[in-house]
């Protein structure tokens, strides 16, 4: 069986179309399907303003609509192309995971008094695409575990987060991820959004991150502990794009596939 693993597309449909997928049996994506330039620019701008003691920009209806539209349009375009004639599996990563649930979309529509696209409903209509969130899928006899993005508590410690609500939320998500990975047990392939802590996960300024982030590790210690213990044959991840490359943790081959990077394996 030939598997094509693709890193975070981020809506770069032109780069995606250049990836050879002829005779591929299955496609696996590491999340962040859509483009989120608008949201990213807004987020980092407010970080800078806060550091400078300036008033943060208000997230209003216009911004909300633009954020949704950019993510929605680019996600559907990428999935419609990749899943055509080929079974394709992915989760959302940290781009789009907040708008996949209809209930969350309705809340934002009411809060900002805008009409928004429903990503979850549209994804379900795409033939051959399988949304795989915190589950193990049997793909042609292989055990493939899909771990959705979560905020690892060690990430908050590394970056000096002081917000108690964020820390509490991260602790809850970290505990949940530990349980999910324990339930996965042994796998042939682990697909996760962020890299294992300390491996292919060092932040730089290449993608617009603030200077106080540079040089720090932004991977997950929970994922690292799992890989060390269970040693899946392959680990595919993305998220920290400047960490694109290959490494090994014991017998496990780990690939950070960056933005629409790819790897073909035969199993």
Q: Each residue of 35-61: pLDDT tens digit? A: 999 988 898 888 888 889 999 999 999
Taking residues 196-212, what's their average pLDDT? 84
Taking residues 176-197, what's their average pLDDT? 98
Radius of gyration of the CA atoms of the chain, in A = 18
* Residue 46: domain span: 2-266
The b/e string for 186-216 (b: 16+ C-beta within 10 A; e otherwise) is: ebbbbbbbbbbbebbbbbeeeeebeeebeee
H helix runs in the chain, sequence order: 13-17, 37-51, 61-82, 102-112, 119-124, 153-158, 164-184, 221-230
Nearest to 88 by CA among 147, 21, 180, 150: 21
The helix/strand/coil state of 253 is strand
pTM above 0.85, yes or no: yes
Query: Which pLDDT belongs to residue 142?
Result: 96
Q: Given pLDDT bands bounded at 50, 70 and 90, which one contains residue 165?
A: confident
Taking residues 229-253, what's their average pLDDT? 97
CATH for 234 = 3.60.21.10
Residue 142 exposed, middle or buried by CB count within 10 Å (0-12, 13-18, 19+): middle
Q: Each residue of 53-98: pLDDT tens digit? A: 999 999 999 999 999 999 999 999 999 999 999 999 999 999 988 8
Q: Each residue of 132-144: pLDDT tens digit? A: 999 999 999 999 9
Question: Any idea what DSSP says for residue 174?
Answer: H
User: Domain total for the chain?
Assistant: 1
Cα–Cα distance for residue pair 241/221, rounded to 1 Å: 18
The helix/strand/coil state of 126 is coil
Sign of torsion, CA 211 212 216 220?
negative
Structural contact between residues 194 and 222, judged by C-beta atoms closer than 8 angstroms:
no
Cα–Cα distance for residue pair 29/33, rounded to 1 Å: 8
How many Cβ atoms are within 10 Å of 97's Cβ, its own excluded? 19
**Mean of the per-residue pLDDT values for the chain?**
93
């Amino acid at each position: 069986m030939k598997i094509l693993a693709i890193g975070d597309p981020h809506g770069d449909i032109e780069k995606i179309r250049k990836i050879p997928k002829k005779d591929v049996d299955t496609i696996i994506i590491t999340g962040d399907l859509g483009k989120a330039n608008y949201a990213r620019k807004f987020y980092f701008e407010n970080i800078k303003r806060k550091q400078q003691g300036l008033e943060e920009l208000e997230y209003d209806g216009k911004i909300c609509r633009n954020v949704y539209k950019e993510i929605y349009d680019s996600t559907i375009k990428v999935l419609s192309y990749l899943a055509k004639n080929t079974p394709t599996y992915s989760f959302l990563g940290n781009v789009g995971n907040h708008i996949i649930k209809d209930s969350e979309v309705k809340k934002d529509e009411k809060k900002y008094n805008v009409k928004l696209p429903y990503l979850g409903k549209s994804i379900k209509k795409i033939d051959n695409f399988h949304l795989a969130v915190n589950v193990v899928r049997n793909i042609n006899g292989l055990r493939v575990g899909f771990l959705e993005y979560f905020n690892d508590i060690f990430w908050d410690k590394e970056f000096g987060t002081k917000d108690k609500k964020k820390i509490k939320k991260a602790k809850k998500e970290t505990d949940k991820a530990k349980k999910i990975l324990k339930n996965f047990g042994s796998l042939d392939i682990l697909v996760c959004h962020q890299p294992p802590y300390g491996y292919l996960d060092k932040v730089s300024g290449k993608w617009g991150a603030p200077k106080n982030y540079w040089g720090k590790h932004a991977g997950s210690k929970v994922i690292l502990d799992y890989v060390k213990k269970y040693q899946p044959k392959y680990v595919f991840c993305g998220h920290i794009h400047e960490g694109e490359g290959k490494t090994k943790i014991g017998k496990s081959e780990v690939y950070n596939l960056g933005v629409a990077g790819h790897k073909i394996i035969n199993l």
